[in-house]
Amino acid sequence: MGKQAIISDRITAEGRVSVLIARPVTKPYDYLSNGMDLKIGDIVQVPFVNKMCLGVVVPSSESDVANQKLKLVSDKYGEHRISVAMLDFISRAASYNMIPLGAVLKMVLNVPEIFNFSDKIELLGQSGTSCLKNFKITPQRKLVLDAIVKNGPQTSAQIRNNTGVGSGVISGLLTCGVIQKQFVEDNFTPQSLEALDKNSVELNNEQTTAVECLRNVVRQNEFSVSLIDGVTGSGKTEVYFEVIAEVLKKGFQVLILVPEIALARPFIERFSRRFGAAPVEWHSELPAKKRRRIWRAILEGNVNVLVGARSALFLPFPNLGLLVVDEEHEPAFKQMEGSRYHARDMSILRAKCSDIPIILASATPSLETLHNSETGRFRKVSLSQRYGDATLPKVELIDIRSSENRNGSWISPMLQKAIQATLERDEQVLLFLNRRGYAPLNICKVCGYRNECPSCSAWLVEHRSKSRLQCHHCGYNVKVPTHCPECGAEESLVAAGPGVERIEEEVSQLFPNARTGIASSDTLSNGPALTNFLQLVKQREIEIIIGTQVIAKGHHFPLITCVGVLDADLGLAGGDLRAAEKTYQMLHQVAGRAGREERAGKVWLQTRQPDNPLMQALSNWDRESFLKLEKQARSEANLPPFGRLVSLIVSSKNETEADQIARLLAASAPSTPRAQILGPAPSALAFLRGRHRRRLLIKADKKLNVQKMISDWLGGLKIRGSAKVEIDIDPQSFT
């Protein structure tokens, strides 16, 4: 995969340099330096396949290509360069995940127009001309000139805001030559973090012990992995904030990864209260200009703390001193499209390459992380009690199979009574159903027809608020039909099953005076929408929250004392080996929203499986009993964390072609006692975005070099037509 080319420490003589290009290439290519003094890590622009591409100078490998055949490096970006540790990480991440070396570099340099966009801003300043013939000083012109003398060169907008003059006054001064334009680089300057020793939160004994332990870890200035394992509301964030302060005092940079940055408003606010300023944010919603400015500031070492989703892991920090992965168990850390990787695992790899500590935090750590802490690979600090006077809420199971709980409503009579009592106490309610829209499918009551996505093997979800049927996999949507497309029957389509919109409709009927609000990715799709929603909850403008998983984690609602989970069994459906673990984690997090301050909380789980060990563990807050059974089952089946899994996904626009290649793969599979190769079989979503999908699953011994085995296996395979084979190391789901 080109690893040896990066690990070597030399650049060839005679003006030749090796450049790794930010394209899906597997090795560096040689160029002539074009008279530039280039060093390892320099970011350059080079011609490649009739295009100008970004790349990075890497240590040279042996090459037989003559100088006469080499192209010239076109340009070099600045004096700052990608660190050797980052180059090592790129190489090792590519090797582990079996993705092209250049594809990983592309994630590092995924900033539009680095070379072709200067991001200069126009300032207006004095021209140096002291006296001009026929120039008349008016009161408004004097305001502008005085403002420039006082504050120095400013933008036109700043001058107008400071003086109240119109743009015509400024244009007149420019025409007269009294002021002139100057262009300067529009650099990004983060807010200063000055409150490193001013924590206003008083830590309890458990938190204080945890902070001292982790401070000692970071003082060693070497690679280590620490887990903060704390119940919901125990103050894990405050603990690692104190460790961050310790690292910042030493002049290092800090990267904090969160599952979804667009939904991290409460975290940003907590950080700002603790440190006196907000951290820099990195996410896909940033405008291109701001993205460039932040990226450059990071490379130049001017960003102290950054909070971002998984893509932030590939930002070029030159002086990284600490990595934090919050909610480390979250499935959102797994990149499922394009270059597949798990951001938590790659964060650990990056910390190792940089020889720095990393902290993982979760109320429900993944089984892999817990196993690593039990075997001594990770250090664990525990927070077993909620902060302050808050206590864990009582959890009660509602068996919705029983006759007293079958009343034609999605909300059982027992839960209805609990909601009514909560509202009468002027407290708030959270109803959880992890299903967007109004109903998961529409069915014709005459012929049984179901609306299906034309590009995916999935039913279309009804979104009644938009009068649309939508595929939640590819985004396809159509207007809700007035008649059945199959039999033509008028008004025969009926909603089957509930989504959050349907629950809101029912809540409005049961509690007509209650103020409700839906919290899902449809309604809280960005930071401002979430901020507004949380403000409404805080002001008690919303009494009953009806939400999906976006509201289940990280939020602090002091007045929520009643949490109702309407279908606790929903996540257990399907063949996902992690279904029970994910369901436990999700429901544990949801339950943790109740009773987070002095008011006691209660959680109601509506289930058809009240005797299931998972439900029993949740009702007793007995995580250990659930984990014991889960670990035993995984161990007996040699599944993670005791074994390894790799998925091979064959896809093609042609179903026959997908089947043929999948069978060819299976027929040529290596035979080894240390791995079992299962399949091929149709994927859970056998048709996705217009492609037919087949899956092979490798169950391997942890000591087997599974990447080498797969590389040898697929090395001679020729894929033609529209088909492709994707490799998913450590798959988290099997859609």
Choose one of 362, 383, 404: the last residue of a domain: 383
Residue 569 domain-assigned? yes
CB 711 within 8 A of CB 98: yes
Residue 213 domain-assigned? yes
Q: Which pLDDT score is estimated for 727?
A: 94
Does the structure show a pLDDT above 80 at 69? yes
Choose one of 497, 519, 542: the last residue of a domain: 497
Q: Which of 355-359, 496-500, 531-535 has the lowest mean pLDDT?
A: 531-535
323 vs 304: CA distance, rounded Å:
12
482 in the same domain as 537: no
CATH number for the domain harbouring residue 38: 3.40.1440.60
* pLDDT tens digits, 310-365: 999 999 999 999 999 999 999 999 998 889 999 999 999 999 999 999 999 999 99
Q: Which pLDDT score is estimated for 270?
A: 87
Cα 209 to Cα 239, 328, 437: the distances in Å are: 9, 22, 45
Residue 422 domain-assigned? yes
Q: Which pLDDT score is estimated for 6?
A: 44
Does the structure show a pLDDT above 70 at 209? yes
* pLDDT tens digits, 439-471: 998 899 899 899 999 999 999 999 988 889 999
Choose one of 497, 519, 540: the last residue of a domain: 497
585 in the same domain as 707: no
Does the structure show a pLDDT above 70 at 129? no
Spatial neighbors of 473 by CB under 8 A, at least 6 apart, are 453, 456, 458, 685, 688, 689
Which one-letter amino acid corresponds to residue 305? V
User: Which phi and psi angles does 518 have, rounded to 5°?
Assistant: -95, 130
Burial of 226 (0-12, 13-18, 19+ CB in 10 A): buried
Residue 663 domain-assigned? yes
Q: How much is the average pLDDT of 595-614?
A: 88
Does the structure show a pLDDT above 80 at 375? yes
Omega before 641 cis (within 30°)? yes
Residue 178 domain-assigned? yes
504 in the same domain as 490: no
Burial of 300 (0-12, 13-18, 19+ CB in 10 A): middle
CATH number for the domain harbouring residue 505: 3.40.50.300
What is the number of domains present in the chain?
6
The average confidence (pLDDT) of the chain is 88
Measuring CA to CA, which residue among 554, 623, 624 is closest to residue 592? Answer: 554
Q: Give the angle subtended at the CA of 143 by the CAs of 137 and 147, to the nearest 5°.
A: 125
Residues 90, 91, 92, 95, CA torsion sign: positive
715 in the same domain as 685: yes
568 vs 576: CA distance, rounded Å:
16
Maximum Cα interatomic distance, the chain, rounded to a whole number of Å: 97
Residue 191 domain-assigned? no
Q: Which two tokens stand for residue 592?
A: 């943790």
CB 426 within 8 A of CB 409: no
Residue 586 domain-assigned? yes
Percent of the chain with pLDDT over 90: 55
Q: Which pLDDT score is estimated for 389?
A: 66
417 in the same domain as 283: no
Q: Which pLDDT score is estimated for 116?
A: 66
This prediction has a pTM of: 0.87
Rg of the chain over CA atoms, in angstroms?
29
Residue 181 lies in domain: 120-185
Percent of residues in the chain assigned helix, strand, coil, to nearest 5: 35, 25, 45
379 in the same domain as 244: yes
CATH number for the domain harbouring residue 720: 3.30.70.600
CB 232 within 8 A of CB 592: yes
353 in the same domain as 427: no
17 in the same domain as 92: yes
Task: Give the three-state DSSP class for 216.
Answer: helix
Cα 145 to Cα 130, 156, 167, 168, 295: the distances in Å are: 12, 12, 14, 14, 36
40 in the same domain as 166: no
518 in the same domain as 486: no
* pLDDT tens digits, 133-167: 567 788 888 888 888 888 888 888 888 888 888 88
506 in the same domain as 489: no
CB 687 within 8 A of CB 643: no
Does the structure show a pLDDT above 50 at 3? no
563 in the same domain as 627: yes
Residue 197 domain-assigned? no
Q: How much is the average pLDDT of 713-732?
A: 87
Q: Which pLDDT score is estimated for 447?
A: 92
Does the structure show a pLDDT above 50 at 2? no
